[in-house]
Every structure is written in C-alpha cells, then in structure tokens.
Amino acid sequence: MSAETNAATQVRPDIKPKFISHGTLASRNLEKTRKFYEEFLNLEVVRTSPISMMVRLGGEHVYAVVQSKEEFLMPRLNHNGLDVDSDGDVDEAWRTVQASAEAWGLTRITRPVAQHGTYSFMFWDFDGNCWEILSNPRGGYRWIFDKGDLEGRGHLDRNFRAERPAD
C-alpha cells in the first residue's frame, strides 16, 4: 500500500494515476461516425490510424473510437454524457434528436426527465453507443464530489436536484 492517503476517502491507493484520460467507443464505419461526431455532436475529432480516431469536447478527457465488425449495443448504464447549459437546451436537443433520428440512425430516444440531480434524455447512435444529453452546472458532476459520500437515497432522491449549485 502507498504511504499517500486520499483525504476525501481515507483510502491508501496502490496505484496513483493522474487523471482519467480516456474511454473507448465502438464504430462500424469510421467515416460515417466521424461525420456524426463532428456535424451532429460538435465533437473535435482526430484520426489516429486506419481503424481508430480520438474525440473530445471541452476538456482533456478523450474517447478512443475503434472500428469494430461486431454488432454492439451499449448498455444504458454505460452511457456517455454530453452537458448543455439549461433544461431548455435539453428540450431543444431532444427535439433535434427526434427530428434527425432517421437521417443519423438514432434509436431508443427517451423523453427528458428530472433524475439523479439533473434533467436529461438518452438515445443510441447507429454504432450502438448510448448518449445522455443533460443540464448540469459548469464542471459537470464535479459538485457531487464537494458533497462527499451521500446517505440515504443519495442522488436517486427526487429532491436531490435542489442541492446542486447554481452555475
């Protein structure tokens, strides 16, 4: 065990990474996926090989996007969040996703709802990746770490949203 201690949790980590640098998404067709990410989701994209690219938006965390021949459907719990400024922006994004579903191959579009401290909806892209569009204060869920470990229903409580800071 390490001599360093994480002050928030009093855990002595064995491994001490600096930050979460990336995640991985699947793609059936990198060119089509790139067009969707750039033109629809407004992500920054860079091609890294004939079968991969990396994407990012608004920070240092990136996703590696890797071409796959396998059929894939990301489970709902493994979704990717894209923050917008307000509940109205969530509603506008929902209308845009609904209107663009056929053109972009978007499926399983949920209705916007207030949940886990935010207002959001989800949809799946043509590659089978699940996306959540949500309103959050600047910095995303960073504010939850300021609260520390939660008791009771925590972020599942219907009134939890009232506890988040104003932007």
Enumerate residues 6+ apart whose C-beta is below 8 A from 13. 1, 2, 4, 6
At 167, is the pLDDT very low, low, confident or very high (cuts 50, 70, 90)? low
Q: Is 102 exposed, middle or buried (0-12, 13-18, 19+ CB in 10 A)?
A: exposed
DSSP 88-124: HHHHHHHHHHHHHHHHHT-B-PPPPEEETTEEEEEEE
Q: Is the pLDDT of residue 2 over 50?
A: no
For residue 99, the model assigns a pLDDT of 97
Whether 128 contacts 73, CB under 8 Å: yes
Asked whether the predicted pLDDT for residue 25 surpasses 50, the reply is: yes
User: Does the pLDDT at position 154 exceed 80?
Assistant: no
Instruction: Report whether pLDDT(158) > 80.
Output: no
pLDDT tens digits along 133-144: 999 888 887 878
pLDDT for res 53: 97
Strand partners, 27: 67
Q: pLDDT per residue over 121-133, tens digit each?
A: 999 999 999 999 9
For all residues of the chain together, what is the average pLDDT? 88
Q: Please name each of the domains of the chain with its CATH number.
A: 1-69 (3.10.180.10), 76-167 (3.30.720.110)
Report d(CA 69, CA 26) in Å as an integer: 9
Label residue 160 by pLDDT band (50, 70, 90).
confident
- For 48, the 3-state DSSP assignment is strand
Closest CA to 65 of 33, 26, 20: 26
Predicted local distance difference test score (pLDDT) of residue 1: 35
